[in-house]
Amino acid sequence: METINPATGEVVESYEEDSASDVGSALERAEDTFAEWREVPIREREQLIEAAGDVLRENEREYAELMTEEMGKPISQALAEVQKCQWLCDHYAKHTSEYLEAETHPSPPGTTVKTVYDPMGPVLAVMPWNFPFWQAMRFAVPYLAAGNVGLLKHASNVPGSALAIEEIFEEAGFPDGAFQTLLVGSEKIDDVLADERVRAATLTGSGPAGRAVASTAGENLKKTVLELGGSDPFVVLDDADIDAAAETGAWARNQNGGQSCIAAKRFIVHEDVYDDFLDRFVEECEALTVGDPMDEDTDIGPQAQSHLMEELHEQVEQSVDAGANVVIGGEPLDRDGPFYPPTILTDIPQGCPADTEELFGPVASVFSVADEDAAIETANDTQFGLGASIWTEDRDRGQCVARRIDAGCTYINQLTKSDPRVPFGGVKSSGYGRELSEAGIKEFVNRKTVWTE
């Protein structure tokens, strides 16, 4: 298993894949550790989560550079990702006891009835490469805090990040086996998930991968949480602050090289402000710097892998062939590495990739609509339902529009983002279940009723 720096084409490191025997030992260790870990008081778990945050702080630069080398994330954004993981740890170190406090219920005189939240056991996580630390940590931290143990199958191009996350929990003082990385290919996941020692699974990734995991889990009656990407609408109404919408929109589309499930992808703009918004949006996108991801001034680095850029460009070409107009960008940059510039498409025909597919890179599809109802109709005209961003100076109007959009989260006058304090997840083909906050930590617990006579 090799990792290749997408910016240079150089091999970063080679790793030995885990054998079937290695995986079996990891599962046995997870089961044994769970029997002890579940009995550790919540306050002690919180203290260990806090210690994991300290390990992240102490090694912040090292982890950021590792991410940048493995998948091309600009170093400033990699540092921000490590810091967000610290915030995640701080949040659950403070709030786990509150989130898992027993809930009492009405009962007959002389009895007490309550719901307690017990851990389920080893939880398998299948995670993507685009946010190598955040995606894995937002799974691990709440589930470990709840008393579960974790098994991580990370993307094959970020094994160094996967092993570093395992080391974070080891250095923080978690027991051996509380969190383990499995260096295996995707073809091994069915066997791991079907193993009786694994009690649940979570996946962030593609629709086909999510359906495969859900199918295997369903056959074995195991709980799953799936986050399967999106084609998020960015709705600009006629009373929006155009400068703010354009500035935020350029970043919402292009941060992390546009490789984000909750990136703004379809810009749906009221016809009265369409021209003004497009002009400002072009200015903001053209001002972004594409370059060496290790340079602090770089906004957009390479795409994570060459084949991913080729797939993205094919989607652009198919859309142009169907009649879409390229305003800026639209061609890979003439330099070493899979660098793709900020690209804006307009006049997008129905049914072309820029209209119906998720474009996982720095390509924005811009649509003009006649009114608010048309904006909502266009926003909902997708198989996805992860996030949405709505721009209007009238907050009451924004909240009304938000309730009519099919998405797991909607942000008014802000880009869509995940936050440890609020639930995160989607609907329709964007998956089901929630991560983060109280809802996230309770996804993989046994809500046990205890009746005392």
Q: Is 261 a catalytic residue?
A: yes
Residue with tokens 């306050």: 43
Residue 13 vs residues 2, 133, 181: alpha-carbon distances, Å: 6, 18, 17
Rounded Cα–Cα distance for residues 219 and 308 (Å): 32
In terms of Cβ atoms closer than 10 Å to its own Cβ (0-12, 13-18, 19+), residue 187 is: exposed
Query: What one-character DSSP code corresponds to residue 174?
Result: P
Choice among 261, 285, 352, 409 that is catalytic = 261
Neighbours of 331 (CB within 10 A): 12
* 3-state secondary structure at position 153: strand
Supply the Cα-derived Rg of the chain in whole angstroms: 23
- Strand segments, DSSP code E, in 80-231 are 103-105, 112-119, 122-126, 149-153, 179-181, 200-204, 223-227
Q: Return the C-alpha torsion angle 318, 319, 325, 331, nearest 10.
A: -50
Token pair listed for 414: 């802000």
Bridge partners of 103, per DSSP, are 115
- The catalytic position among 31, 70, 227, 358 is 227
Q: What is the residue whose two structure tokens read 């799953």?
A: 224
227 assigned to active site: yes
Active site residues: 227, 261
